[in-house]
Chains A and B, each alone.
Chain A
Amino acid sequence: GAGVSQSPSNKVTEKGKDVELRCDPISGHTALYWYRQSLGQGLEFLIYFQGNSAPDKSGLPSDRFSAERTGGSVSTLTIQRTQQEDSAVYLCASSLAGTGGAFFGQGTRLTVV
């Protein structure tokens, strides 16, 4: 596609439910990031995938968060037993190996009620 695509754009869920957020990176981009951004705040790193290497999960805030990347393309971020503090915009970005520059999707705004 033309850019990084994320779905859904908005998600409202009840506390305690599980949610899945999807990211379609730019075709051919081997690196993929997930970030979380609360209102008016910076970019909180969650997880980084690069090619076939083991992902860097050092930013995941708790074991309720997990992510996978199937076939080196689409990625899903799963949040189990959602809490109100999980409410934020979740941003995905991808980049071409060796170039460094990352391109962001439009984000998924998650609201836990």
Chain B
Amino acid sequence: GENVEQHPSTLSVQEGDSAVIKCTYSDSASNYFPWYKQELGKRPQLIIDIRSNVGEKKDQRIAVTLNKTAKHFSLHITETQPEDSAVYFCAASIREAGNMLTFGGGTRLMVKP
């Protein structure tokens, strides 16, 4: 089955700096890659996603890039703010396998004011 690895497990940045979280996946048939943000004590929330037919997608300060050849995708957060502090999870799914999401282990991002 699919295996998703996420790095780093913790990331500390200064407010205003950029943050990058990387994920790799094992199954080349994966075609959907969402990212979730989980604030302390809250549920994970979908913040951005990308499908395998595009290489990059942006939404204000966040962007996701996908390299299908290398089987990795990344979340980029620019101009980080303290409210970006949370745990971020990447995931991958395969349409032909019923779209079941496989999650990475999570990255705890801390933005220091």
A residues adjacent to B (C-beta < 8 A) = 31, 33, 41-43, 45, 48, 50, 53, 56, 58, 91, 93, 95, 97-107
Contact = CB atoms under 8 A, between A and B. Distances in A.
Interface stretch (B14-22, B41-49, B67-75): B41-49
Contacts of A58: 1
B25 interface: no
Interface of B: 1, 32, 34, 36, 42-46, 49, 89, 93, 95, 98-106
B100 A43 contact: no
Contacts of B44: 43, 91, 93, 104
A104 B34 CA distance: 13
A100 B99 contact: yes
Contacts of B42: 106
B98 A53 contact: yes
A102 B95 CA distance: 14
A53 to B, nearest CB: 6
Contact of B43 (A50, A53, A100, A106): A106
B46 A101 contact: yes
A6 to B, nearest CB: 9
A41 B32 CA distance: 24
Contacts of A41: 106
A69 to B, nearest CB: 14
A105 B38 CA distance: 12
Contact of A95 (B45, B89, B99, B105): B99
B89 A43 contact: yes
A23 to B, nearest CB: 12
18 contacts: A31-B98, A33-B101, A42-B105, A43-B106, A48-B98, A53-B98, A58-B1, A95-B99, A98-B99, A100-B32, A100-B34, A100-B93, A100-B95, A101-B32, A101-B49, A102-B46, A104-B43, A106-B43
Nearest to A35: B103
B98 A91 contact: no
A104 B49 contact: no
A105 B100 contact: no
A50 B99 CA distance: 9
